[in-house]
Amino acid sequence: MKTKRVIAGTAGLGLAGLLAVAAWAQSKPEETEVWTPTPAKVAPAKDPGGAPSDAFVLFDGSNLDQWVASLDKSPAGWTVADGVITVNKARGNIETKKSFRDYQLHLEWRVPADITGSGQGRGNSGVFLASTGPRDQGYEVQILDSYKNATYVNGQAASVYKQHPPLVNASRAPGQWQTYDIIWRAPVFGADGALTKPAAVTVIHNGVLAQDNAVLAGETVYIGKPAYKTHGAAPIKLQAHGDPSAPISFRNIWVRELAPRS
Ligand code: MG
């Protein structure tokens, strides 16, 4: 018998070892099987990067109905043509009408092939994972042409702006579509408004891990040190950066809300 053979092979084990083997011999595989609750069924998209069945689609190529101008909540004034959004820098940032806490976000962005400029002035935009004000308040994952464009590394594409450089530079050349798949864990604040759990973000850039559960020290800021201020569910915001380089474009944006952390 199999069990007997195992036990016969335990000569030299101490009492504790023998007891462990005896316990193993009496265990059944079913004891460690979990059958309920069953995970919700989600139909994945037919094409890579497409919205799965439980996603909330923020842009499907047709209109900006899910977006407003961050400054005054008026209709988003960016351009939609040929299934693509292009930033209108004169109209400022845009943000989602809906607010979110924790989520998985997919978006695609493209720097124009004929982009000019250098450093932060070359295809700069960004996705603010929670918008906490009409301008650049919130938590920005940088969007920038970082294919062949030196800048401070905690400000290049896929950085958590001025907090975490990306683990690697997975940038594609200008003119090509790039993807971000982001897991956002919003900060948690107690009833008194004090921070109880900082925000954390994972970013996959063009299929490559760029931020691995990076913990944020607060909102991302251009000057000075990051700090938290209390907020709840918040819009997702796209940046109209003021540099003079040609505006970038976006397409295929969807989000899946996740159960918040306690
Ligand atoms: Mg930016």
Digit-coded pLDDT (tens) for 117-150: 999 999 999 999 999 999 999 999 999 999 999 9
Residues 139 and 243 in one domain: yes
pLDDT of residue 203: 99
Residues 70 and 120 in one domain: yes
- In one-letter notation, the amino acid at residue 22 is A
Q: What is the spatial distance between Cα 219 and Cα 24, in angstroms, rounded to a whole number?
A: 51
Residue 177: give the domain boundaries.
56-257
Distance of CA 89 to the CA centre of its chain: 24
Residues 134 and 225 in one domain: yes
Question: Do the domain assignments include residue 47?
Answer: no
CA of 68 from ligand 1 middle (Å) equals 19
Residues 70 and 23 in one domain: no
Split at pLDDT 50, 70, 90, the class of 20 is confident
The tally of domains found in the chain comes to 2
Question: Do the domain assignments include residue 149?
Answer: yes
CA of 6 from ligand 1 middle (Å) equals 63
Average pLDDT over residues 229-246: 97
CA of 11 from ligand 1 middle (Å) equals 66
Split at pLDDT 50, 70, 90, the class of 4 is very low
CA of 1 from ligand 1 middle (Å) equals 68
Average pLDDT over residues 73-84: 98
* Residues around the ion ligand 1 (C-beta < 5 A): 124, 126, 239
Question: Do the domain assignments include residue 10?
Answer: yes
Question: Do the domain assignments include residue 38?
Answer: no
CA distances from 210 to 5, 60, 128, 186 (A): 50, 25, 16, 18
Question: Do the domain assignments include residue 227?
Answer: yes
Is the four-CA dihedral 190, 127, 67, 179 of positive or negative sign? negative
CA of 55 from ligand 1 middle (Å) equals 26
CA of 148 from ligand 1 middle (Å) equals 17
Split at pLDDT 50, 70, 90, the class of 250 is very high
Average pLDDT over residues 102-123: 98
Residues 28 and 60 in one domain: no
Residue 2 has pLDDT above 50, yes or no: no
Residues 69 and 189 in one domain: yes
pLDDT of residue 11: 62
Look at 48 and 230; give whichever has higher pLDDT.
230
Look at 53 and 15; give whichever has higher pLDDT.
53
Question: Do the domain assignments include residue 15?
Answer: yes
pLDDT of residue 6: 47
